[in-house]
Structure 1
Amino acid sequence: MTRYGGFVLLSCSLFTTSSLASFYDPVDGQFDMGHHLAENAHGFLPIPILITEPAVGYGGGVAGLFLHETDEEKRQRKQAALSAIDGGAQLVPSAMSVVGAVGTENETWFVFGGHRRSWMNDSIRYTGGGGFGVANLDLYTSINWGPIDHDLRIGTSTSVAVLSQKVQFRIGQSPWMLGIKQLLAKSEIEFDNTVLDRILGNESVTSGLGLEAEYDTRDNLFYPTKGYKLSADYMVYDDAIGSDYNYRNLNIDGEAYIPITQKWMLGLAANYQNFDQQDRLVSPTAKPYVSLRGVSSYRYQGDEIETIQGQLTYSINHRWKVSGFYGSGTAKQDNIVSHDSTINAGGVGFRYQIARRYGLHLGMDYAQSHEESAVYFNVGSGF
């Protein structure tokens, strides 16, 4: 099966005769969106979205990216970009927002928004986002009991409204930040199986609070070329804070970007999640899943998730990059009915630096596992 992810397209309406020159970089003369993104009135970039995902059908939507930079921040970024080919990319906007909406032919739709803001030279940082919509998805569970060894597909339709936010505080001038996280969601899930719908189909509230620690030395927010990021958070979902489901989740993420030579860069990423279920039954989408390019979301869920990825990137020049990647993920089950699953996937891709003064790259990845292949149009490294 071939699966296409969301594709971020640049709006043709931007290319008017009067503004055409602003889409070419004054340093290298290449196509570039950095000037438009920084110099228009509100730092606003319209992003049409095309979805060709067989699981939800064809569809699309639109998003808007807002960079809330002061005139002084814009001046510093522009000066840095004019003085060096990678200038400006290390400067992170103190505030940015995104709003948008998507919909598909199988009646999946979602309206979303998010905001990131920092104060005191990034000593205090707030990140929040939320949305509402309906997701019509297939979930899978492995049945391994005696002579039965079968992957069971479960069709679901979930109406959801969700809010997620966190506040982080930097420790001195170090790369370490500590924070508090919150997630609040109200959902109603329906199953295409009558028995499951009677048992699990209901309206529920999921409420969680947690702590997070983060270490980040990456040289760019959008497309790092060197540095490390390590984050760990522990979330508690409990009826004491208004949740209908009681469980705990530990999530540890790591990324490393290691320059090998001037042209070659090695990227590594790993993830570990531990799901501690307190109730006999929880929402089917609560359990974590293996997240790899070439593997469907929610295809491999488990009580413990372990993934590792590697990506080797070659820079043709400062604009164009090509890469090859490979990863492996394991979903471990804490019961006697389901069995552990391991999935491997790999592929190739390319990136084009679309906004040099921000270090913003976009491109395409082709990934394949033993079950399916997929094409992704990505902004960023792909991790």
Structure 2
Amino acid sequence: MKKSLPLLLLLFFILIGYGPLFGQGGSTSKPAEKDSIKKMDFTLMPFLSYNRNLKLMFGAIPMMMYKLDPSDSISPKSLSGLSAIYTTNHSYFVAGFNRWYFKEDTWRASFFALTGDNNSQFYMDDIDAPGFYDYGTKTTIVSAGIQREIVNRLYGGLTYTYSHYDTQYEDDVQPPSTTKTNGLEINLLLDTRDAVYYPTKGRRTRLRWITYPEGLGNDIDANKILSEYNHYFSVHDDRDVFAARFAGKFGLGDIAFEQQVTLGGKDIRGYSQGKYRGDGLMALQGEYRYNFNHKMGLVGFAGMATIYGSDTESFNWKLYPGAGVGYRYRAFKTVKFNIGLDAAVGKDDWGVYFRIGESF
């Protein structure tokens, strides 16, 4: 499958995202977040969600926001949290996540670790009995990254991610596999948003190249190019927000089963069965965020996506719509940071999504 079309589209959207560097249309000064002087803000959130794959999901997510340097009035508050989730299809996930902002927002860092057992399904049509087949993957992921401001609002950085997958398939439709990957990511981030946790205007453009070279202990060379372009527009005297997003994920080379992308999640809501799976995808979305008071809000969203590199040829380059509505509630007192629940429908599928922060 030729990769030239997705790469050309990728370059087109990235150039749009970098418009503020070469002309008008974006903020060029760092806005300070309107944070309280409170040193730490803690919240404990219950987790409750459902989809057609993992079934009922429940758990708990404690989180806290804080300033690494109380005298730093420019950096957003840092965020740290844990999540423990169990599902009624006997999957479980335990994760820790951190985002750090420091040195007047000239440095940003992240650390993420996850372990769990994911009992899921995928679609096969090249066998005698086409349909969904279950698989279980014991997963361990550890990722650490650092970013430095290069010029005004443009960041560059490195991320290292270790992943280990042990996968068993129902009825031996595929042989069991153990996959270990060491990914090195080089990334660029252009961030002109007025706030990192709830932007009302500005842009966020991110370009990531992830390589899995044999020299880092990978069995097969592979590469991914991941891109995002989010644009935020203030509406009704800053009460509401309209947000637009393009996402592109492009797998190059030999992409392992566990590294493939599945239609769904924040790229296009409304798909939870794991049916549409391939080496890459592209998606467009729009979302209106209506805040009827300072603690609660509603959202409505719609989008379209496509995939390529699927083992089921008839899935490739088709258009997959998704649309839905959601509810938001402010989780922290000192920073606008929402949690919420979305319900969405797609092509012959649907899903319910618990949100930590906004969808994008």
Which TM-score applies when normalising by structure 1? 0.75
Q: Is the 8 A contact 2:50 2:353 kept in 1?
A: no
| Matches for 1:80-95 after TM superposition, within 5 Å | 92-93=76-77, 95=78
Q: Deviations over 1:350-379 (max 9, x none)?
A: 323343520122333221123123333323
- Change beyond 3 A, Cα 1:43–1:350: closer
Note the alpha carbon deviations across 1:260-319, whole angstroms, 9 max, x for none: 4324432101111111123xxx53221123331111274322233110001123333434
Alpha-carbon separation, structure 1, partners of 2:244 and 2:348: 24
Alpha carbons of structure 1 residues 308 and 141: separation in structure 2 relative to 1, 3 Å:
farther
- Aligned equivalent of 1:287, options 240, 244, 260: 260
Structure 1 position 139, deviation (Å): 1.6
2:79 to 96, 112, 118: 96
Q: Residue 171 of structure 1 corresponds to which residue in structure 2? A: 150
Find the aligned partners of 2:324 and 2:347 in 1 and give their Cα distance.
Answer: 12
- Which residue is equivalent to 1:265? 241
Q: CA deviation at 1:141?
A: 4.6
Q: Which residue of 2 aligns with 1:331?
A: 307
Corresponding position of 1:208:
183
How high is the sequence identity, in percent, across the aligned residues?
21
Instruction: Say if 1:100 and 1:250 are closer, same or farther in 2 by CA, change over 3 A.
Output: same
Between structure 1 and structure 2, the one with the greater Rg is 1
Deviation at 1:241, TM superposition (A): 0.5
CA–CA distance in 1 between the matches of 2:163 and 2:56? 27
- Structure 1 residues 297, 122: closer, same or farther in 2, change over 3 A? farther
Cα gap change, 1:207 to 1:57, in 2 (>3 Å): same
Q: Which moved more, 1:304-313 or 1:316-325?
A: 316-325
**Structure 1 portions without partners, runs of 5+:** 1-33, 77-89
Q: Could you tell me which of 147, 153, 161 is aligned with 2:140? A: 161
1:25-73, CA deviations, whole angstroms, 9 ceiling, x for partnerless residues? xxxxxxxxx99x956xx64322232344442243422222132336846
Q: 2:330 maps to what in 1?
A: 353
Flag structure 2 segments of 5+ consecutive residues without an equivalent.
1-34
In structure 2, do the counterparts of structure 1 residues 296 and 379 end up closer, same or farther at CA, with 3 Å as the change threshold?
A: same
Amino acid at match of 1:257: Y
Structure 2 residue matching 1:193: 3-state secondary structure: helix
* Number of residue equivalences: 321
Residue 343 (structure 1) aligned to one of 307, 314, 320: 320
Q: Do 1:365 and 1:376's aligned partners in 2 also have CA atoms closer than 8 Å?
A: yes
- Are 1:243 and 2:226 an aligned pair? no
TM-score where L is the length of structure 2: 0.79
Match of 1:301 in 2: 277
Structure 1 residues 303, 365: CA separation in 2 closer, same or farther (over 3 Å shift)? Answer: same
In 2, Cα distance between equivalents of 1:68 and 1:265: 26
Q: Summarize the Cα distance change of 1:309–1:205 in structure 2 as closer, same or farther, 3 Å threshold.
A: same
The corresponding residue for 1:21 is none
After TM superposition, the structure 1 stretch with the greater mean CA deviation from structure 2, 129-138 or 337-346, is 337-346
Q: Distance in 1 between matches of 2:341 and 2:313?
A: 39
- In the other structure, the counterpart of 1:368 is 345
Residue in 2 that maps onto 1:186: 164
**Per-residue deviation at 1:107?**
2.2
Instruction: Decide whether aligned partners of structure 1 residues 159 and 334 sit closer, same or farther in structure 2, where only a CA change above 3 A counts.
Output: closer
- Structure 1: which 4+ aligned runs deviate by more than 6 Å? none
Cα contact 1:43–1:69 (8 A) shared by 2: no
CA RMSD for the aligned pairs?
A: 2.9
Give the C-alpha shift of residue 257 in structure 1.
0.6
In structure 1, what is the Cα distance between the partners aligned to 2:312 and 2:293? 53
Partners of 2:125 and 2:236 lie apart in 1 by: 44
Corresponding residue for residue 227 of structure 2: 252
